[in-house]
Structure 1
Amino acid sequence: MKAEEIKKSLEGKGAVMEVGSPNDGFAKFFTGKSWLASLSKDKDIPVYNVTFENGAHTHWHIHHGTSQVLIVESGKGYLQYEGKEPQVLHPGDVVTIPPEVKHWHGAAPGCNFQHISLSKEGEGVSNEWLEAVDEKEFEKL
């Protein structure tokens, strides 16, 4: 699906943020296609709009030295912490993912999804990208 088709689909469900450019720099850490739009020029706390196509999601990952805040804008998605059941994400939900917690997030099967992502950058802060989410488990959602 192209960015314009995703945008049109999500606008009908209340999306207001731009879809952005293909998220090619992080594509190897995602299953499915995603787009990224920078919403802030602040180098210490960057703010991004992340758009996921139908069923696209991140691999498991850990944020070291910072938490991550997700503000759900449109569509339906999931967030799962290692060892816990996935939680459904709906527009208006705000979640804070603590530092050092293994997790993944993204669009639900059959749904496009957008969230704003905020996390600190700088010295002592990094993302550790891990294995892909088990697709058989994901398809059960």
Structure 2
Amino acid sequence: MNERFDGNGIFPRGEINKAYARYFQGTSYLTMLSTEGVKIGNVVFEPGCRNDWHIHHKGGQILLVTGGHGWYQEWNQPPRRLSAGDVVHIAAETKHWHGATADSWFAHIAVEVPAAGAGTEWLEPVTDEAYGRLARGGAE
């Protein structure tokens, strides 16, 4: 199933993610599953799409991978390849990025950990050079 993932999963792929497009390289899709109490979104990345480096202040985030193959990387750490069933706990104040591999769609449920004053700080893009090294088996 995972090898043929086309971005359509158990949750709706939704519309092109225009609200956050400036923080992504490539095309992503967003469907908010919950905005009450805990914000939960289904995020789908086309092959090669990734978001910029960013930090979740105060609350952190949890990613539940539901399809395809992707990458997760924390600043000054090796990248981690992700597949359906993987869970990523992102502590508050951790600089990181995530996105699809170059040859696969990728989908995850993003859960924002609630906290007073929580917010996201968007930083620099993941460069094409750094991302390209992942496809060739190298690390950032």
- Normalised TM-score (structure 2): 0.88
- The structural deviation recorded for 1:123 is 3.7
Residue ranges of structure 1 left out of the alignment (5+ in a row): 1-7
Question: 1:96-117: per-residue Cα shift (whole Å, max 9, x none)?
Answer: 1000000000101111100000
Match of 2:111 among 103, 111, 118: 118
- The structural deviation recorded for 1:67 is 1.3
One-letter code of the match for 2:57? H
Residue ranges of structure 2 left out of the alignment (5+ in a row): 135-140
Q: How many Å separate the matches in 1 of 2:6 and 2:104?
A: 10
Q: How many Å separate the matches in 1 of 2:18 and 2:51?
A: 13
Q: How many Å separate the matches in 2 of 1:140 and 1:41?
A: 36
Matched length: 130
Q: 1:25 to 1:10 in 2, by over 3 A?
A: closer
RMSD: 1.4
Q: How many Å separate the matches in 1 of 2:35 and 2:17?
A: 18
Give the equivalent residue in structure 2 for 1:74: 67
One-letter code of the match for 2:31? A
Question: 1:72-91: per-residue Cα shift (whole Å, max 9, x none)?
Answer: 00000000000001000110
Q: How many Å separate the matches in 1 of 2:88 and 2:110?
A: 10
2:56 maps to 1:63: yes
| Matched-pair identity in % | 38
Higher helix share: 1
Question: 1:98-139: per-residue Cα shift (whole Å, max 9, x none)?
Answer: 000000001011111000000135641110000000211101
Counterpart contact for 2:58–2:93, Cα < 8 Å: yes
Secondary structure of 2:31's aligned partner: strand
Counterpart contact for 2:7–2:45, Cα < 8 Å: no
